[in-house]
């Protein structure tokens, strides 16, 4: 856990599961330029194997793969690894597809044709959120209140209040949602 906050963090690994060569090439170039380590696979089966063997920090997953549908790949991936961020790349803009993807365990999605800059911003946002959850869960500020999660206290100026477990959980949720 502490390695993620060291001064010289290891390169984050991104696995791209996508069968369209042009998209793979574009993603690889942009992600490597951003300092990520990239591997790409063109089928769901190969993608799942790579996810297990290589241990990526995030997965970009196309929904329309030649051998399997991306939802199933997403579900399988999620069963095997509860925490790896999965971002779905979808040509389908319909709301139901997005919801289905999120139901299958994805963290986020982008609709093709997508902006690579936006995709990278989303990946970085996920990594920042993960880092905060892992390392600075103890105190945070919300609505001007200072929350100390370890002590179950919220304070503002001279006022302080003890928080129940559920109050604290709600505040944590609000905190992550407000990003
Ligand atoms: Ca495809």
| Domain range for 173 | 136-178
CA 121 to ligand 1 center in whole angstroms? 22
CA 65 to ligand 1 center in whole angstroms? 5
Residues 40-73: b if buried by 16+ CB within 10 A, e if exposed: bbbbbbebbebbeeeebbbbbbbbebeebebbeb
Pairing of β 145-148 and β 159-162: unpaired
CA 154 to ligand 1 center in whole angstroms? 48
Total tally of structural domains belonging to the chain: 2
Residue 55 placed within a domain: yes
3-state secondary structure of 27: helix
Residue 170 placed within a domain: yes
Q: Looking at the structure, tell me whether residues 105 and 30 fall in a common domain.
A: yes
CA 56 to ligand 1 center in whole angstroms? 20
Backbone angle region of 170, left / alpha / beta, with phi > 0 → left and psi within -120 to 50 → alpha: alpha
144, 135 Cβ separation under 8 angstroms: no
Residue 65 placed within a domain: yes
Q: Looking at the structure, tell me whether residues 161 and 89 fall in a common domain.
A: no
Q: Looking at the structure, tell me whether residues 143 and 75 fall in a common domain.
A: no
pLDDT single digits (tens) 149-159: 877 889 998 88
Q: For residues 19 and 42, what is the distance between their CA atoms, to the nearest angstrom?
A: 4
Q: For residues 178 and 25, what is the distance between their CA atoms, to the nearest angstrom?
A: 34
The CATH number given to whatever domain includes residue 68 is: 3.40.50.2300
CA 17 to ligand 1 center in whole angstroms? 9
CA 47 to ligand 1 center in whole angstroms? 13
Query: Environment class of residue 126 by beta-carbon count within 10 Å: exposed (0-12), middle (13-18) or buried (19+)?
Result: middle
Q: Looking at the structure, tell me whether residues 102 and 29 fall in a common domain.
A: yes
Among 1-10, 42-51, 62-71, 102-111, which range has the highest average pLDDT?
A: 42-51
CA 42 to ligand 1 center in whole angstroms? 8
pLDDT single digits (tens) 61-106: 999 999 988 999 999 999 998 789 999 998 766 677 778 888 888 9
């Amino acid at each position: 856990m502490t390695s993620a906050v060291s001064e010289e963090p290891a390169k984050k690994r991104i696995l791209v599961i996508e069968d369209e060569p042009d998209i793979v090439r574009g993603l690889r170039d942009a992600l490597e330029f951003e300092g990520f380590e990239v591997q790409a696979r063109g089928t769901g089966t190969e993608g799942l194997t790579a996810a297990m063997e290589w241990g990526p920090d995030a997965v970009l997953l196309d929904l329309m793969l030649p051998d399997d549908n991306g939802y199933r790949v997403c579900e399988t991936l999620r069963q095997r690894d509860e925490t790896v961020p999965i971002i779905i790349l979808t040509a389908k803009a319909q709301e139901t597809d997005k919801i289905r993807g999120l139901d299958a365990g994805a963290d986020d999605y982008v609709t093709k044709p997508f902006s690579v800059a936006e995709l990278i911003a989303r990946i970085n946002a996920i990594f920042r959120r993960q880092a905060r959850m892992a390392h600075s869960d103890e105190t945070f500020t919300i609505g001007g209140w200072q929350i100390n999660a370890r002590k179950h206290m919220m304070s503002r100026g001279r006022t302080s209040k003890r928080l129940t477990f559920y109050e604290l959980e709600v505040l944590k949720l609000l905190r992550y949602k407000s990003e």
